[in-house]
Amino acid sequence: MAASYLSILKTACILVLLLGSVMHGYCLVVVRRLAQGLPTGRIRNKLILLEILIAGFALLYFVFALFGTSVADLELIVTVSIPLALMAGFVLLTCGIIQRTVGALLRVELAESQRIIDNEMGIYNRYYFKLRLREEYNLAHRHRLIFSVLLLAVDYLERVNYSYGRVYGGKLLSRLGELVKESVWQTDIVARYSGEEVAILLPHTGIAGAKVAAEKLRKRVEEKTFYLDDDHKINRVMIACTISIGIAVFTQDMKHMNQIMENADVALFKARDKGRNQVAIYGE
């Protein structure tokens, strides 16, 4: 009777170890999915390291289970299986907390991005641009810094809407947003300012640097052919377009932050009035 009891206890300990291995395998899947859903960076690298550790523990539990089947010392098996079972529960609980925490952070990030991103163009929206403009304006006033603003608009966008429909007009704006982001520094703020207008905030940039950036962007758009359909579609719509750009530079005598945007708008009107596909500077 005692031998039968000891045999059952030994089998239970081995099953506990195997269950611990399965629990670690489940945690490994959870952590891997979390890591795959994150962008490259320190957090993802730490999750990958955690994957490796969990995989090692899962293998360790399996090895202990096999070891337990060939060892006659029941006291040793029980001594090993109990703390390992507790550790498996701890790892499972920790992974659950990590999963919920990362999920909550991703939801917050998504909500924040939806609040500040223009979905059609894939760039910042006017709300976020105004926040960053206010920060830059206050810093420039306090520390006597300089910054510039570019305000650009697609020339004759209404012709695209009339010829192909507003859906393709929206696709053109989306492709343009991608091109503009690729053409400026990461520290520059690119935002949709109104329907077809894009504003670019250039920190620590004077008139010379702003003019170089504007001409570079104008030329890139002029030389670009925008494909507005998927690659697999036959007879894709291809559109070439140009942009007009107005430049305004911060000066210490400005009384409010909207003044620089008003100046950029005046310069943009000047560029359009000169024949479009132009860069115009406020005050020149």
Q: Residue 222's pLDDT is what?
A: 95
User: The whole model's pTM is what?
Assistant: 0.66
Lowest mean pLDDT among 26-30, 180-184, 200-204, 234-238: 234-238
Query: Does residue 18 carry a pLDDT above 90?
Result: no
Q: Which residues make Cβ contacts (< 8 Å) with residue 10, sequence separation at least 6?
A: 68, 74, 77
Distance (Å, whole) CA 115 – CA 130: 13
pLDDT digits (tens, 9 = 90+) for 29-85: 888 888 887 777 787 888 888 888 888 888 888 887 777 776 666 676 777 777 887
Per-residue pLDDT at 73: 65
Residue 113 pLDDT = 61
- Residue 274 sits at φ, ψ, to 5 deg, of -80, -5
The pLDDT value recorded for residue 15 is: 82
**Helices within the chain (DSSP H only):** 2-36, 42-70, 74-116, 126-143, 157-164, 166-183, 207-223, 258-273
Please give the Cα distance from 284 to 268 (Å, whole number): 12
Task: Name the band, by pLDDT with cuts 50, 70 and 90, for residue 112.
Answer: low
Going from the C-alpha of 42 to that of each of 45, 46, 113, 140, 184, the distances in angstroms are 5, 6, 21, 33, 26
Distance CA 267, CA 261 (A): 10
- What pLDDT does residue 234 have? 63
Give the model's pLDDT for residue 1. Answer: 46
Give the residue, 68 or 244, on which the prediction is more confident.
244
Angle between helices 126-143 and 74-116 (to 10 degrees): 80
Most confident of 103-107, 119-123, 169-173, 215-219: 215-219
228 pLDDT tier (thresholds 50, 70, 90): confident
Q: Which helix (H) or strand (E) holds 117?
A: strand 117-118
What are the domain boundaries of the chain?
2-117, 121-281
pLDDT digits (tens, 9 = 90+) for 142-190: 889 999 999 999 999 988 888 888 888 899 999 999 999 999 998 999 9
Superfamily of domain covering 121-281: Reverse transcriptase/Diguanylate cyclase domain (3.30.70.270)
Return the percentage of the chain with pLDDT > 70, whole number.
Answer: 90
Name the average pLDDT for the chain: 86
Separation of alpha carbons 87 and 58, rounded Å: 11
Smallest Cα–Cα separation from 34: which of 102, 117, 136? 102
C-alpha span between 259 and 7 (Å, rounded) = 86
**Rounded to whole angstroms, how far apart are CA atoms 260 and 207?**
13
